[in-house]
Structure 1
Amino acid sequence: MIHFSLFSSLQPTGGHNETSGPRLILLPPRKMINKSRGKILGVLALFLVVVWYAIYREDGYTQLFYFPAQENKTTCPLGEVEKKAVQLIANYSREQPLFLQLKDYFWVKTPSLYELPYGTKGSEDVLLRLLSITHYSVPESIQRLKCRRCAVVGNGHRLRNSSMGETIDAYDIVIRLNNAPVHGYEQDVGSKTTMRLFYPESAHFNPRRENNPETLLVLVPFKPADFQWLEAILNDKKRVRKGFWKQPPLIWDADPQRVRVLNPYFMEVTAAKLLNLPMKQPRKVKQKPTTGLLAITLALHLCDLVHIAGFGYPDLANKKQTIHYYEQITLKSMAASEHNVSHEAMAIKRMLELGLLKNLTYF
């Protein structure tokens, strides 16, 4: 039964019929309510459409001029690096420690098979002294990461004017090489440095200016004199001046607690398994891996995701093209080096093909 309001008793008077004058048309209360609700919902929907359109226009306008840094917050590919590395590195294992530690040289049960740079045979005494003033631990900030997303930053010319700085800084771990500067190049190379690999001849950088306070300074030892140089520097002893192809710095203001000595095992893996170099070579034809390729090997053993930037050299015919983003040295300077850059380029391309690495800059 439909209930009408009190006003339903009002009817026209004076004998008028339905056509003789206007008649008040009454609606049931429920229909009136439904009609009101419809109007309110319609107005609300129109309001939401207007707001959405305004936001859409603003976002669309912003996107025309805003280029966000590459996001690296993808699902962590845990275990993928290990699976793919086995295809390239025989007997691949993450069991080896990253850095040398003092306790391993008090009682040496299994002496190293090789001399530097592939082992520590014959350098144990000076290494004992050096390890007594440096550290070996991996910082807790790295250990507690559930996924270690790493960027290995080369020193290549292609980083110049690349605007890659924000992208590089977004990684959990950023590994840099030798004396490559950060100060003044932040827009292209970033400012974050988790580790810096170096050797004495490449230590011509200000450790406190070109790195973060927590940066690990990782010595890559090529010869016994490298141990002697670092020990003398940190203990403020008489400096070692002989045995270097280029004079290393005589003053180097580094905190010994941030200094590490890289395990020569990684140099061995890089040389023998990535470049197929013999561990014992004639002195006249010696070849060694670059610090850059060594850093990639280290990252493969440390990280769950490895991206590289600033790797690659100019075409061999282009002798005037500079090879670094921060100085005017050309490929001609590599002629007398002990590095085979073409061989290394093939090794990196192989890793890219296997999906071990991703390249952030063209290679």
Structure 2
Amino acid sequence: LVLSLVLLIGGYSAILIPAYLTLNKTANISDDYERPRDQVLLNRSASLLSDPCKPLWCLNHLKPLSFSAGLLDIPVFMQQDRPVSWDLSPPLGLQGSEENLALALASLPQPGLPPSLKREGGCKRCVVVGSGGVLHGSYLGSHIDQYDVIIRLNNAPVPGFERDAGTRTTIRLLYPEGAPHSADEYKKTTMVALVVFKSLDLAWLTSVITKQPLSFWSKFWFWREVVDDIPLRAENFRILHPEIMHKTGQVLQKYAMVPTLGASAVVMALQLCDQVSLAGFGYDMQHPEARLHYYEELRMDVMKAQVVHDVSAEKLFLRDLVAAGAVTDLTGAL
């Protein structure tokens, strides 16, 4: 009888104890997910927003880097009455794109900088939201929504990720292949700005604005399927001035890298706003199991299989801006 009781208790223990421990472990993971990943960074972000905006903060802190010279003289967006140097091909210039540029500008009722983004309107804060996995679990969404100008890149999603990424978009900087296909991604979006990497990108923009589809032959030259329709009015589109890409390229020469969309977005933010913050920037290549993007399950080791982006060099550039105090890194990966 005693032996039977011992065997019975042992059997129940072998079944129930591991199950109990597994349940607790799962619950703890769930609890961690429901809490901000880094409360210190969240508190620092809240403190930054509670302080008054500081005029010309970025430009004053860029001076030691010899980066601010002539920055404010560069137009942010292309205008019909502002000629551009034609001696460089896209993305650093618009040589060979004159005809497509004229058609695209003719389709834009308001091609220049809107009054709401001009510096004369008062001290402004910008936040550039990257796609890095470090944004996941940050709980920065409500903070991001408090910025005057919110810049996003390509097809980085907003619906479903509001807790970490916010809900509003002031400027979505993109090229055709990176434009979101879902109409939901353009809700609460003020402006879409095209970055021209090839002449055909301008033809795509004209097609989207005028609702005249591109020919099959034209679509053949894009490296992935492009969206035919973006649910915004014509006045909500712009063309990023290539001089910004040129300026970014000059700055990045010391880092031996070509201008990326993310780096160019930061340079644009430095033009537009007095204070600039970054969220979702900085890839941790030392931890291959870390999340690559905030919106999907891909891990960092995927980056080792591609050579398109020099994320390490971009990180050095952004890290120098943070070290100089010119920008603030909200997610702490730089």
Mark yes or no: TM-score above 0.5. yes
1:253 to 212, 217, 231: 231
User: Cα gap change, 1:255/1:213 in structure 2, threshold over 3 Å: closer, same or farther?
Assistant: farther
User: Cα gap change, 1:217/1:271 in structure 2, threshold over 3 Å: closer, same or farther?
Assistant: same
1:217 aligns with 2:184: no
CA deviation profile, 1:301-337 (whole Å, cap 9, x unmatched): 111000111101122561x433111123444256434
Alignment partner of 1:217: what SS? strand
Deviation at 1:271, TM superposition (A): 1.6
Asked if the contact 2:168/2:189 (under 8 Å) is kept, the reply is: no
Provide the residue aligned with 1:352 in structure 2. 322
- Alpha-carbon distance in 2 for matches of 1:309, 1:270: 19
The one-letter amino acid of 1:299's match is A
Alignment of 1:90-109 (within 5 A): 91-104=69-82, 108=83
Asked if the contact 2:186/2:231 (under 8 Å) is kept, the reply is: no
- Alpha-carbon distance in 2 for matches of 1:147, 1:90: 18
The one-letter amino acid of 2:71's match is S
Give RMSD over aligned pairs: 2.4
Provide the residue aligned with 1:203 in structure 2. 179
Asked if the contact 2:141/2:167 (under 8 Å) is kept, the reply is: yes
2:106 to 123, 132, 152: 132
Provide the residue aligned with 2:166 in structure 1. 190
Residue-pair matches, total:
283
Provide the residue aligned with 1:155 in structure 2. 131
Unaligned runs of 5+ in 1: 1-66, 279-286
Alignment partner of 1:312: what SS? coil
Q: Determine which structure has greater relative contact order: mean sequence separation of CA pairs < 8 Å that are 6+ residues apart, divided by chain length.
A: 2
2:53 to 46, 67, 76: 76
Deviation at 1:288, TM superposition (A): 3.2
1:121 aligns with 2:95: yes
Provide the residue aligned with 1:172 in structure 2. 148
- Alpha-carbon distance in 1 for matches of 2:278, 2:105: 31
- Alpha-carbon distance in 1 for matches of 2:55, 2:87: 33
Deviation at 1:299, TM superposition (A): 0.6
Normalised to the residue count of structure 1, the TM-score between the two structures is 0.72
Asked if the contact 1:271/1:277 (under 8 Å) is kept, the reply is: no
CA deviation profile, 1:15-46 (whole Å, cap 9, x unmatched): xxxxxxxxxxxxxxxxxxxxxxxxxxxxxxxx
The one-letter amino acid of 2:107's match is I
CA deviation profile, 1:159-213 (whole Å, cap 9, x unmatched): 112111111111111111111111111111111111110111101243x522345
CA deviation profile, 1:44-66 (whole Å, cap 9, x unmatched): xxxxxxxxxxxxxxxxxxxxxxx
Provide the residue aligned with 1:60 in structure 2. none
CA deviation profile, 1:106-129 (whole Å, cap 9, x unmatched): xx5x64331100011111111000
User: Cα gap change, 1:307/1:241 in structure 2, threshold over 3 Å: closer, same or farther?
Assistant: same
CA deviation profile, 1:131-169 (whole Å, cap 9, x unmatched): 111232333333353111111111111111211111111
- Alpha-carbon distance in 2 for matches of 1:203, 1:231: 14
Structure with greater Cα Rg: 1
Provide the residue aligned with 1:39 in structure 2. none
Alignment partner of 1:216: what SS? strand
Alignment of 1:194-343 (within 5 A): 194-206=170-182, 208-213=183-188, 215-235=190-210, 236-239=212-215, 240-276=218-254, 288-316=258-286, 318=288, 320-331=289-300, 332-333=302-303, 335-343=305-313
The one-letter amino acid of 2:97's match is S
Question: Which structure has the highest helix share of the two?
Answer: 2
Deviation at 1:340, TM superposition (A): 1.0
Asked if the contact 1:150/1:171 (under 8 Å) is kept, the reply is: yes
User: Cα gap change, 1:226/1:330 in structure 2, threshold over 3 Å: closer, same or farther?
Assistant: farther
Unaligned runs of 5+ in 2: 1-42
Alignment partner of 1:209: what SS? helix
Deviation at 1:222, TM superposition (A): 0.8
Alignment partner of 1:70: what SS? helix
